[in-house]
Amino acid sequence: MKVISRTSTQKYKSAPANLREIAQQLGVTNILDGSVQKAGDEVRITVQLINALKDDHLWADTYDRTMSNIFGVESDVAQKIAESLEAKLTGRERKEIGFVGTKTPEAYDAFLHALALRGAQSKEGSEKQKAFLQRAVQLDSNYAQAWALLSQAEALDYFNDAIGAEKERARKAVETALRLAPELADSKWPRAFLIITVCAITTRPSPS
C-alpha cells in the first residue's frame, strides 16, 4: 500500500473539487478527506475515505470530542482506514498507530499549528513553525514527534543559512526524539535528514 506524503498533498488542502483528477496526479486510488471544527473546548472531526477513481465512499465517520480526550481519534481513524482497505498491519505498524505523543491538549494544539506551517517557503513562516514547536516541547518535554519536527525545521534552516547553531539545535532535538521514542519512524527520519543536510553543506562549493 502506497501512502502519499503530506507535503505532496499540501497544495490540495483548499477543498478540491475534482478528486479523480487529483488522484491521477498523485498516482493513488483512494483519498482521505476531512475537516475539523472547533468551538471553545469542543471539537468535531469529520473524516471520509473515498475511492476517487470510482467516486465511491468507502468509509466515513464523525468524532465529537473535547480537547482533553481528542488523542485517540488519530489512531482510531488509521485503524478504520486499514480495515476499509483490508490492509494487513504488522505488529510494529499497529504499535505506531496506537502511539500517543502527548496528553497535553495545549502541546498538541501547538504541534498541529506547526504541522500546518510545514514546508513554509519564507523565513517568517519557518520561524513561526519553530515557535509553535518550541512551545509544544516546553509544555510537554516528552513529546517525541514535536522534537522530531523541530529537528527537521532547524536542519532545513541550517541548509539555507549554514549557521552552526541551527545544526546543533537540530542535533539536540533529534537526539531527544530518539531517546523518547527510539522505535518510532517519526523519530528516525529527521536524523537521516540532518545527516544528508550536513553532507550537502560540507560538499557545497564555496562562493567565489
What's the confidence (pLDDT) of residue 136? 97
Per the prediction, the chain carries an average pLDDT of 83
Q: Is the predicted pLDDT of residue 95 greater than 80, yes or no?
A: no
CA distance 170 to 163: 11
CB 126 within 8 A of CB 156: yes
- The residue ranking higher by pLDDT, 124 or 40, is 124
C-alpha cell recorded at residue 160: 539555507
Q: For domain 6-97, say whether CATH 1.10.620.20 is its number.
A: no
| Residue range 61-92, pLDDT digits in tens | 898 888 777 777 877 887 888 888 777 777 77
Residue 4 is predicted with a pLDDT of 63
- pLDDT tens, 104-117? 989 998 998 998 88
Cα 148 to Cα 110, 138, 179, 183, distances in angstroms: 14, 14, 11, 13
Answer whether CATH 1.10.3720.10 is correct for domain 105-203: no
Model pLDDT, residue 8: 60
Residue 175: the pLDDT is 95
Instruction: Give the residue range(s) of CATH 1.25.40.10 domains in the chain.
Output: 105-203
* Residue pLDDT, tens place only, 142-191: 999 999 999 999 998 888 887 788 889 999 999 999 999 998 888 888 88
Indicate where the chain has its CATH 3.40.50.10070 domain(s).
6-97
pTM of full prediction above 0.75: no
> What amino acid is encoded at 100 in this protein?
V
Q: What is the largest CA-CA distance in the chain?
A: 59
- pLDDT of 16 strictly over 60: no
* Residue 1 pLDDT level (bands cut at 50, 70, 90): low
Share above pLDDT 70 across residues of the chain, in percent, rounded to a whole number: 86
Residue 34: pLDDT band (50, 70, 90) is confident
Least Cα distance to 67 among 120, 107, 15, 23 occurs for: 107
